[in-house]
């Protein structure tokens, strides 16, 4: 058998399907978490869609709670039938109280950020087994030559955001995602 016939391409499959299919799946990326492999009619994956719904409900619920219960602690609020009537989505998703709602949103946010980090590193050619070395959430303080210094830029990695994204830093100033000469993202203080 000659070299050409050892290749699977001799079936002609890669010409017919292979490259075209790859191109199409690569294009289908969730607009929020940047994960690939979306169904063709969606621009956001179901996990992000779910997270967005919970986030919107949380905003409405917090306002409604403040109006109805005033200073009572929102974080200890257990949902009752009135809440489930107003926001049936909570009941459908078995979210039974504020603590669990906040926990779900936090977990969803962590998933989005680590998925974005993975997508960023994939784009930079970092092999998958090395990708967990860059932390999504940074420490607010660190030790430098025995002294405690606090981080000035935002506590989340710039790698999770597009160049040009603005965010408030740990020091209260506005920071902007910029590109280093080596092609990596970093937070730059806005002047
Ligand atoms: Zn997504």
Distance 37 CA to ligand 1 centre (A): 10
More confident residue, 116 or 126: 116
- pTM for the whole thing? 0.76
Sheet holding 174-179, edge to edge: 166-168, 174-179, 185-189
Which of 21-35, 121-135, 140-154 reaches the highest mean pLDDT? Answer: 140-154
Which of 4-13, 90-99, 140-149 reaches the highest mean pLDDT? Answer: 90-99
Mean pLDDT of 79-83: 96
Distance 49 CA to ligand 1 centre (A): 7
- Residues bordering ligand 1, an ion, CB closer than 5 Å: 30, 32-33, 45, 48
Distance 130 CA to ligand 1 centre (A): 22
Q: What pLDDT shows up at residue 26?
A: 54
Distance 44 CA to ligand 1 centre (A): 5
Which residue is listed with tokens 């902007």? 176
């Amino acid at each position: 058998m000659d070299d050409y016939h050892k290749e699977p391409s001799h079936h002609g499959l890669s010409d017919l399907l292979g490259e075209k299919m790859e191109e199409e799946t690569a294009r289908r990326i969730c607009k929020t978490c940047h994960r690939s492999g979306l169904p063709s009619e969606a621009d956001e994956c179901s996990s992000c869609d779910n997270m967005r719904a919970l986030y919107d409900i949380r905003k409405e619920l917090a306002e409604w709670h403040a109006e109805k219960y005033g200073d009572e602690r929102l974080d200890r609020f257990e949902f009752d039938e009135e809440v489930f009537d107003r926001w049936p989505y909570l009941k459908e998703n078995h979210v039974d109280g504020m603590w669990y709602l906040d926990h779900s949103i936090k977990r969803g946010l962590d998933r989005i950020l680590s998925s974005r980090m993975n997508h960023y590193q994939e784009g930079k050619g970092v092999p998958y087994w090395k990708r967990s070395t860059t932390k999504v959430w940074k420490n607010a303080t660190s030790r430098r030559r025995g002294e405690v210094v606090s981080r000035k830029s935002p506590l989340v990695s710039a790698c999770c955001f597009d160049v040009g994204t603005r965010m408030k830093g740990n020091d209260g100033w506005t920071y902007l995602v910029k590109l280093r000469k080596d092609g990596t993202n970093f937070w730059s203080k806005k002047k």
